Amino acid sequence: MSDIPATWISAILGDIAHVEMGQSPDSRFYNERGEGLPFFQGKAEFGKLYPTVRKWCSEPKKIAEAGDILLSVRAPVGPTNLAEARCCIGRGLASIRASAPIVQKYLLHFFRNIQPWLSEQGTGTTFAAVSGDFVRGLEVGLAPLTEQKRIADKLDAVLARVDACRERLDRVPALLKRFRQSVLASGISGKLTVEWRASDDKRMDTEPPDWPERPLAELCERERVITYGVIKLGAEVPTGVPCLRTSNVRWLRVDTEGMRRIALTLSSEYARTILRGGEVLVNVRGTLGGVAVATPEMIGWNVSREVAVVPVDASQVDPSYLAFWIGSEVSQRWLSRVEKGVAYIGINIEDLRNLPVRLPPLEEQREIVTSVESLLAYADRLEARYTAGRAYVDRLTSALLTKAFRGELVPQDPNDEPASLLLQRIRTARAATPDKAKRGKGGRNSEKSKTAEVLMLDRKDIRDAHLTTILKEPLNNCIGSTAAGLSRFFRNKLRIREFKSDYISLPWLISDISFAAIDFR
């Protein structure tokens, strides 16, 4: 470790900590009644910091003490948790206890820093695993004792902020999904075009008129009917006709990734579903809910049997309006009531043909499409910002840990005792009392408390500063309930521009999230 500060030292884990490899007890001694010690077999029980107790063991073979680091050493290798109380550990775990006075939290953060590397070190044909000798032989960049405390405290604080940021970001996709559905609902109900109707002398009534309701089949071209496509796609033909499946027809868009190509002759057999552009595509089997409009680029393409083609009569209905109607919650609920099948869910074509559609005048349909597309495009931009922000936050933890174990996270103090002297004292103490390192074997009682002494910061302990200032809570205050936000928008008759800034104020998604935002000093 050549990139550590001069006051640090590279130490072997076995020289500064006790490592206990787990061993699974006889299954006769497992129970779910709470008898004996909590029993953890591997990473499957891990939580964010502490594992979840699902089983107990009345006759443990290997024991971890409260506050010990629990390291997953078998499928997968590398993840860590802390023992919240004295517990039994199976062969998938090792317990690691720092020798006094080394800071246990410092050692925990060290393992979380090297987790990506550790995950690649396992060997074995059935399950990747690492041995006790491998774990004990790990090199640890050991900082002076007081610096260990400063590093551990700083990491606790900033990583808790990063976690809080991640939790808030994780709520965004669901909020955007609700927002998009609310936009559709507002569009097809006429709420988005209230001001548009009022601006026309012939439309003094701002309330949505009683639009007529028609079955979907009556909105199609006369010579074409709603039907599904190719039953058996056959072998892939690299230069063949693109054929859309349910995985390609998403909610209001077509995703060509993984699209199949079929033989031209096979496509010709299904001339009824060869796309001419402007058709509405609806998933009717498998993954339901997908609906999109066939664009001019798709002319000549075909669809599989899981996708229905709705040949829209453009003199009656705008294809995008119809796609919005079918993709809305009101239509999806109606379609869900007519779903058929157990093993393979689907919608009968005849049921789809009977789907009721409320039909405003064509001019208003186009105005609805313009308004909805504007708001959906804004949601797409927010989603792009969210995606970039989430990727940044995901990299932030690794970057902070790397920074910490290069000695760059907290200031160096020239008055700190060098880590070499600390290591020397530990070796001397361990040589004088060799039996102390063996605590935890065979169910021997421990002098430690039964609750973990090593605690990470909870969210309530985090000051509302730095990352949390940037990533503050407009999610609740500004978005709140989508329905409430939309209702306020319609009540105040805000324009789309005002709606964007008033209702979805999410500049915090990405803006200015940087290391400069976290106080490393």
Per-residue model confidence as pLDDT tens digits over 165-206: 999 999 999 999 999 999 999 999 999 998 888 886 555 555
CATH 3.90.220.20 fits 9-144+417-462, yes or no: yes
Is the pLDDT at 230 greater than 90, yes or no? yes
| pLDDT given for residue 338 in this prediction | 85
Q: Domain residues of the chain, as ranges? A: 9-144+417-462, 212-359
Using CA atoms, how far apart are residues 406 and 413, in angstroms rounded to an integer? 15
Q: What is the mean pLDDT of residues 390-400?
A: 93
- Beta 307-310 vs 302-303: how paired, if at all? unpaired
- Between helix 329-337 and helix 319-327 the angle, nearest 10°, is 60
DSSP 515: G
Higher-pLDDT residue of 481, 143: 143
- Contact of 57 with 25, CB cutoff 8 Å: yes
Please state the CATH superfamily assignment of the domain spanning residues 212-359 in this structure: DNA methylase specificity domains (3.90.220.20)
Matching fold, domains 9-144+417-462 and 212-359:
yes
At residue 126 the predicted structure's pLDDT band, cuts being 50, 70 and 90, is confident
Higher-pLDDT residue of 95, 207: 95
Using CA atoms, how far apart are residues 350 and 336, in angstroms rounded to an integer? 14
Tell how far CA 297 is from the center of its chain.
Answer: 33
Q: What is the mean pLDDT of residues 444-462?
A: 41
The pair phi, psi for residue 312, each rounded to 5°, is -70, 135
Question: Hey, CA dihedral for 346, 245, 334, 380, is it positive or negative?
Answer: positive
Is the pLDDT at 109 greater than 80, yes or no? yes
Q: What is the pLDDT of residues 291-303, one digit of tens each?
A: 999 999 999 999 9
| pLDDT given for residue 205 in this prediction | 53
The DSSP string of 102-134 is S-HHHHHHHHHHHHHHHTT--B-SSS-B--HHH
Q: What is the pLDDT of residues 239-272, one digit of tens each?
A: 999 999 999 999 999 999 999 999 999 999 999 9
**Cβ count near 353 (within 10 Å):** 17
| pLDDT given for residue 199 in this prediction | 81
**Cβ count near 155 (within 10 Å):** 26
| Element spanning 403, H or E | helix 362-404
Average pLDDT, the chain: 84
The CA-based angle 406-407-408, given to 5 degrees, is 95
Higher-pLDDT residue of 341, 73: 73
The DSSP string of 195-248 is HHHHTSTT----SPP---EEEGGGGB-TT---EE-BS---S--TTSEEEE-TTT
| pLDDT given for residue 206 in this prediction | 52
Using CA atoms, how far apart are residues 378 and 497, in angstroms rounded to an integer? 10
Higher-pLDDT residue of 438, 73: 73
Q: Which two tokens stand for residue 245?
A: 């499946």
| pLDDT given for residue 344 in this prediction | 65
